Amino acid sequence: MSQVLLYLGAILTGIWGISHLIPTKNVVAGFGDISEDNRNIITMEWIVEGVSLIFIGALVSVLTYIGPFGVLPRAAYTVVVAGLLALAIVSLFTGFKVKFLPFRLCPFILTISAALIFVGGVL
C-alpha cells in the first residue's frame, strides 16, 4: 500500500507539472503588453515550476521503483514533502488570491501530493 501512495503522489505531482507547461504561452500572453525581458522572465519561471514538479514526481517514482524503504529514499521523501509543502504555502499566499481556478487549486494539489508521499514513504 505504501508504494501505491508513493506512486499516486508522484503521478499527481508530475501531472501538475505538465499542466504548468502546456498553457505557458497563453499565461505569458495574459500579461498583455510587457517588455521582452519581463516576458522571458515569466516564461522561464513558469517553465521552471513545471519542470521542477515533473522532476519531483520522477524522483519519487524512481526511488519507489528501486527500493522505497531505505534510509536514502526516506530522507529524499522527507525533503520532497518539505519542498511540496513550501510550494503549497507560497501558492496559498500568492496564487490563491488569483481568480483563475488552476492557481487556486495549486495549494491543495501540492498538499495532497505531499500527504501521499509522506504517508507512503516517511511514516
- Compute CA 83 distance to the chain's CA centroid, rounded to the nearest angstrom: 9
Spans of all domains in the chain: 2-122
Instruction: For residue 38, give the C-alpha cell.
Output: 519581463
- pLDDT score recorded for residue 29: 92
What is the pLDDT at residue 68? 86
CA distance 90 to 120: 24
pLDDT score at 14? 98
- pTM (2 decimals)? 0.91
Question: What is the dihedral sign for C-alpha 5, 9, 15, 19?
Answer: positive
pLDDT-flagged residues of the chain (< 70)? none
Q: Are 53 and 14 contacting, i.e. CB atoms less than 8 angstroms apart?
A: yes
